[in-house]
Amino acid sequence: MTIPFTNIVKELPASTPFVGPETIEREREQIFQARIGANESAFGISPAALSAMADSLSRSCWYADPENYELRAALADRHNVDMDEIVVDAGIDSLLGLTVRMLLNPGSVAVTSRGAYPTFNYHVAGFGAGLETVPYKGFHEDPQALIDATNQYKAPLVYFANPDNPMGTWHNSSTVSQLIDSVPDNTILALDEAYIEFAETDIAPPVDPSNPNVIRYRTFSKAYGMAGQRIAYAIAHRDIISGFNKIRNHFGINRVAQIGALASLQDETFIPKVKTQVAAARQRVMDFAATRGLYAEPSYTNFVAVDLKSKERAVAMIQHLADNAIFMRMPGADPLNRCIRVGLGSQEEFDLFVKAFDTGFSSL
Amino acid sequence: MTIPFTNIVKELPASTPFVGPETIEREREQIFQARIGANESAFGISPAALSAMADSLSRSCWYADPENYELRAALADRHNVDMDEIVVDAGIDSLLGLTVRMLLNPGSVAVTSRGAYPTFNYHVAGFGAGLETVPYKGFHEDPQALIDATNQYKAPLVYFANPDNPMGTWHNSSTVSQLIDSVPDNTILALDEAYIEFAETDIAPPVDPSNPNVIRYRTFSKAYGMAGQRIAYAIAHRDIISGFNKIRNHFGINRVAQIGALASLQDETFIPKVKTQVAAARQRVMDFAATRGLYAEPSYTNFVAVDLKSKERAVAMIQHLADNAIFMRMPGADPLNRCIRVGLGSQEEFDLFVKAFDTGFSSL
């Protein structure tokens, strides 16, 4: 028998957006002592959220409210939008999948930057669409190049992250506003703001869901420290949100995550505290690089790209770090892949990293 | 601007497979005192799982292992299959979505029973495929009718649940084996066994992933009491599992759910205990119906369909129960919809139900 896969799935290669640290641990038969490669937070969860989640565990027998009503109400209040302009889903990864499914017919084309978030690309391929990429300009995404390619390929969807992953770089609010304004009619800009809470200046243009050209993605995975809980949201024009609601997995949210996200959002003291800790940890990495005569790219995220000046050296360092029980990743595409992406861990993780780095750096 | 929805999404009606109890609570401005309508478990979670989950909450900053390695290893051991013959995902709902996406080209057709699980139908529509239904035979799914329709429409995918939801009925192992054997070449049988742990006799044919014609779905939502955690799995031929892996959301599992599912699986004492409690609660409902001269369909699930003899009476009773703060659902299609589906709740919930039922029954 031939398994009756769709034409799209039949032609898909086996692929996965990222190899998880656990896979590497199993291969190496060694547990990582510092897990600073997946942009996970080292600065905890809101104590209020943790307590609410602990209290809710025994009610895990109940499905979550499929409307995510209370959470959407709180988010609507926070962003000064209507509830109908928000959709909650199990992480930005899942939201990007729905976005692609909603906007890309098989054979149509999406645009992104070469080396940007691989999971977007995974979904584009997974729904049988094509992908056109434009190069970064140095270590920054290039808004003009994205718009030019979007026009050239008549792409219904263009992806842009601010701040950027994997580089940590950002564009200021006026540049992003201009990008939004330049998006062609009948094109949607997927504006991934997963790391926006870490930004040191106001780089997010006002949220305006009356504009049907942009979807804003926010998450509880990064600053809120809840990556393992899988909960995020998008803000967009109500017609776009209706589109999400036509296809999303309505009972897909974990009930504990839903409760935790709401409590976390309501804990006004938490994010400022995390932001301060992240800023300090970031400075630690900047200083570390400077001391070694290396360029570290200023970052508005919870990681810092440190330039090792060639892909070969970066690959060798990631390998060396793994040999020393440190999990780190590096960007996947030229010219970003001369860097390693140093995640902001605890002081202990940082110390382990520095120690391992220094033993390997001399022999690169 | 026109939002550039795909052709499929453009034509989809706004729909949702189920209205959640919270939505009804908000509309009625009243909290349900008995939540016995969504087939959620009233018999708790394994204490070992609860404890493992509580311990893991503070590590929610970490993503779950995208390979679900440890859980798949334990499941493979349990079912005597290879790890490559198992995929873990965020609930059977999500697995059904992936299944449809993987097997149904737009315009192709799936087969199911009229009144069977609506979320399957939701996904079929959501991916632009057509749906053909066959009637139940009495209150049972009709395997022969499913096969006939599958042949007639050359359907690549046919859905069958054993035990059945919404009726709680079942077919024995040999009938299901025969169904599996009758599936035409190039067709996949989606065999939903969400409620299998509740069965009082052995109605599940041996799991045989060498057969590429069937996907078996199992979940931690029902007997394991973890619906709100969103974790389930499918067992199938390794080529089918490879198909899932090409399109699934690799980082889509909640880390706490993953840990809880494993602990729950390893707690050998839990399911037998739940099974006993469920059997007793089921008998309570059978007795209740008999006392009132009503037919209750014998069930191998955590709910019992009680026949009120007409759709109008069933609708009126669901309404009356809601007026009395009791959440219950009824089947959605003729002729099943002369029944109400009584979920097996706690003794307290059952008492509330009986009290409310009796005040309403006389005036039906």
Please write the tens of the pLDDT for every residue from A133-150. Answer: 999 999 999 999 999 999
User: Where are the extended beta strands (E) located within chain B?
Assistant: 34-35, 86-89, 109-113, 130-134, 157-161, 188-192, 214-219, 232-235, 303-307, 326-327, 339-343
Looking at residue B358, its pLDDT comes to 97
Check if B253 contacts A (Cβ < 8 Å): yes
Looking at residue B1, its pLDDT comes to 81
Question: Phi/psi class of residue A145: alpha, beta or left (left: φ > 0; alpha: ψ in -120 to 50)?
Answer: alpha
In contact, A36 and A349? CB cutoff 8 Å: yes
Q: Name the strand (E) or helix (H) holding A88.
A: strand A86-89
Write down the pTM of the prediction.
0.98
Contact B229 A255 (CB under 8 A): yes
A340 burial type by CB count under 10 A (0-12 exposed, 13-18 middle, 19+ buried): buried
Contact B90 A22 (CB under 8 A): no
Question: Does the domain formed by A18-44+270-361 have CATH 3.90.1150.10?
Answer: yes
Q: How many beta-carbon pairs under 8 angstroms link A with B?
A: 256
A35, A246, A253 ranked by CB distance to B15: nearest: A246
Q: Among A15-24, A304-313, B170-179, whose mean pLDDT is lowest?
A: A15-24
Q: Kindly tell me if the per-residue pLDDT of A236 is higher than 90.
A: yes
CA distance A66 to chain B (A): 6
CA distance B362 to chain A (A): 32
Q: Kindly tell me if the per-residue pLDDT of A177 is higher than 90.
A: yes
| Tens-digit pLDDT profile for residues A101-121 | 999 999 999 999 999 999 999
The answer for B 305-344 residues in CB contact with A (under 8 A) is: none
Q: Write the single-letter amino acid at B342.
A: V
3-state DSSP assignment of residue A164: coil
Confidence of residue A1 (pLDDT cuts 50, 70, 90): confident
Q: Kindly tell me if the per-residue pLDDT of A176 is higher than 90.
A: yes
Contact B4 A103 (CB under 8 A): yes
> B266-299 as b/e, with b when 16 or more CB fall inside 10 Å?
ebeebbeebbebbeebbebbbebbeeeebebbeb
CA–CA distances in Å: residue A139 to residues A305, A331, B326: 9, 11, 58
Looking at residue A276, its pLDDT comes to 97
Which residues of chain B are within 8 Å of residue A249 when distances are taken between CB atoms? Answer: 90-91, 93-94, 97
Question: Phi/psi class of residue A236: alpha, beta or left (left: φ > 0; alpha: ψ in -120 to 50)?
Answer: beta
The answer for B 24-83 residues in CB contact with A (under 8 A) is: 26, 35, 38, 40-45, 50, 53-54, 57-67, 69
Task: Name residues of chain B where pLDDT drops below 50.
Answer: none
Q: Give the mean pLDDT of A61-73.
A: 98
B67, B239, B254 ranked by CB distance to A257: nearest: B254
| Tens-digit pLDDT profile for residues A23-44 | 999 999 999 999 999 999 999 9
B3, B65, B250 ranked by CB distance to A16: nearest: B250
Closest by CA position to B207, among listed B82, B292, B60: B82
Give start-end residues of each CATH 3.90.1150.10 domain in chain A: 18-44+270-361
Q: Kindly tell me if the per-residue pLDDT of A157 is higher than 90.
A: yes
Which residues of chain B are within 8 Å of residue A18 when distances are taken between CB atoms? Answer: 66, 250-251
Check if A105 contacts B (Cβ < 8 Å): yes
Q: Token match 């995550």: residue?
A: A257
Report the alpha-carbon distance of residue A207 to residue B146 in Å, rounded. Answer: 50
Report the alpha-carbon distance of residue B143 to residue A188 in Å, rounded. Answer: 46
Report the alpha-carbon distance of residue B320 to residue B314 in Å, rounded. Answer: 10
Report the alpha-carbon distance of residue B162 to residue B173 in Å, rounded. Answer: 10
Q: Name the strand (E) or helix (H) holding A96.
A: helix A92-103
Looking at residue B60, its pLDDT comes to 96
3-state DSSP assignment of residue A198: helix
CATH architecture of B15-44+270-361: Alpha-Beta Complex (3.90)
Give start-end residues of each CATH 3.40.640.10 domain in chain A: 47-266
Check if B184 contacts A (Cβ < 8 Å): no
CA B150, B151, B156, B160: dihedral to nearest 10 degrees?
30
Q: Give the mean pLDDT of A210-235.
A: 98
Closest by CA position to A122, among listed A141, A140, A99: A99
In contact, A180 and A189? CB cutoff 8 Å: yes
Looking at residue B219, its pLDDT comes to 98
Closest by CA position to B39, among listed B356, B331, B347, B335: B331
CA–CA distances in Å: residue A304 to residues A38, A311, B72: 12, 17, 35
Give start-end residues of each CATH 3.90.1150.10 domain in chain B: 15-44+270-361
Q: Give the mean pLDDT of A57-80.
A: 98
CA–CA distances in Å: residue B304 to residues A364, B117, B164: 69, 16, 11
Looking at residue A217, its pLDDT comes to 98
List Cβ neighbours of A166 (8 Å cut-off, separation of 6 or more).
A115, A116, A303, A305, A329, A330, A331, A332, A336, A339, A341
> B251-264 as b/e, with b when 16 or more CB fall inside 10 Å?
bbbbbbbbbbbbbb
Q: Kindly tell me if the per-residue pLDDT of A330 is higher than 90.
A: yes
Q: Give the mean pLDDT of A209-216.
A: 98
Looking at domain B47-266, its CATH class is alpha beta
> Residue B226's closest chain A neighbor by CA?
A61
List Cβ neighbours of A269 (8 Å cut-off, separation of 6 or more).
none
Q: Kindly tell me if the per-residue pLDDT of A364 is higher than 90.
A: no
Report the alpha-carbon distance of residue B243 to residue A108 in Å, rounded. Answer: 22
A219 is written with which tokens? 């998450």
Q: Kindly tell me if the per-residue pLDDT of A171 is higher than 90.
A: yes
Report the alpha-carbon distance of residue B312 to residue B315 in Å, rounded. Answer: 5
Check if A246 contacts B (Cβ < 8 Å): yes
Report the alpha-carbon distance of residue B89 to residue B69 in Å, rounded. Answer: 12
